[in-house]
Amino acid sequence: MGWSSWNHYGARITEADVRATADALVSSGLSKLGYTFVNIDGHWQGNRDANGAIQPNPATFGDMKQLGDYIHSKGLKYGIYSGPGPVSCGGNTTSYGHEDQDAATFASWGVDYLKYDLCSFRILMKQAEDKGGHPASTKLMIDAYKKMELALEKTHRPIYYALCQYGMDYVWTWAPDVRGTMWRTTMDIKDNWDSMTSIGFAQAGLSSFAGPGHYNDPDSLEIGNGHMTADEYRTQMSLWSIMAAPLILGNDITKMNQETLEIVGNPEVIAIDQDPLVKAGDRVWQQGPLQIWARPLKEGEMAICLFNAANGVTTMHFNLHDMHWSGPAKVRDVWAHKDLPSIQDSFSAEVPRHGVVMVVLHR
């Protein structure tokens, strides 16, 4: 859990923005809820010095170790961005040919998280595919991610390793072999309903690949960036939590309104996402724009989401038998923060347009 600079700041990110965000994560109370990573997602890079050591962009960033020390002084963790290709997606310096050197540099700065973005490495993959077919291209990519993993391991510093290659070549099947902590399963998300739902609901069927220490990553949260409704943002928060996805905020924390804070800071929904059983949920039913997802939780509890992608309020229901739940159940509505009447056989609720009802069943 944490924050990433890209969705709101993009290429405009500065050290001052990062420091202000660290301050806001603490002052808002979000850090106490688990949002602890402060991730600089690209455009921090400058050139390399005479010894080949990567330097920050002097126009926007200063001493990167001092920045890391500041983040750590707040009780937070420090994330940074690079990639295996010759340049980043934005044309900045990356780690191609300098993997060991950059890993050592990042560790010396106190980095706790590395996002490693494929970007221009796809040019090299295309060349390999032209010569040896798709298997050669895939092997080249996996070897590149393995190379950085080995470089990180040499530093003897625990650094979360976030693979970003957009879900190519069934990344969820091989990312754990290169010790990926998390792996992007999709292209970049946008702050609109179609993008969020096409990415989120496409995660159906991937639950078995997530587990303790390794997670499917459908990209950052767009909540608070202003182009979706509160119901639509609650849908994203619920969907990401039911699938045990990383909760990485992508908004301007320093100007967050109360509505946004209540959505991303809902402790009951966060508890579902962070459930210690770490068993991801999945879709169990769909009919047109209506979907039901379920996730087993600790101590025999179960989280269930009723998603309504239709353009109007819809009554939805489920039977306990279909959820593989035996006997009666107590019901907790985690968005309304209230207990509902116990149920014997089935549950029904009105679900708002582009909205969700999220409940936890318990004995």
Enumerate the active-site residues.
117, 188
> Strand 2-4 and strand 37-39: pairing?
parallel
- CA-based nearest residue to 147, from 179, 109, 170, 120: 179
- CA-based nearest residue to 152, from 105, 119, 120: 105
* Residue bearing tokens 């690209």: 42
Written as one string, the DSSP assignment of 190-222 is: -SSHHHHHHHHHTTTT-GGG-BTTBEEE-----
Q: Tokens representing 103?
A: 């890993």
Distance from C-alpha of 41 to C-alpha of 81, rounded to nearest angstrom: 5
Give the Cβ contact number of residue 38 at 10 Å. 29
Distance from C-alpha of 260 to C-alpha of 232, rounded to nearest angstrom: 12
Give the Cβ contact number of residue 291 at 10 Å. 21
Give the Cβ contact number of residue 326 at 10 Å. 8
H or E stretch at 249: strand 248-249
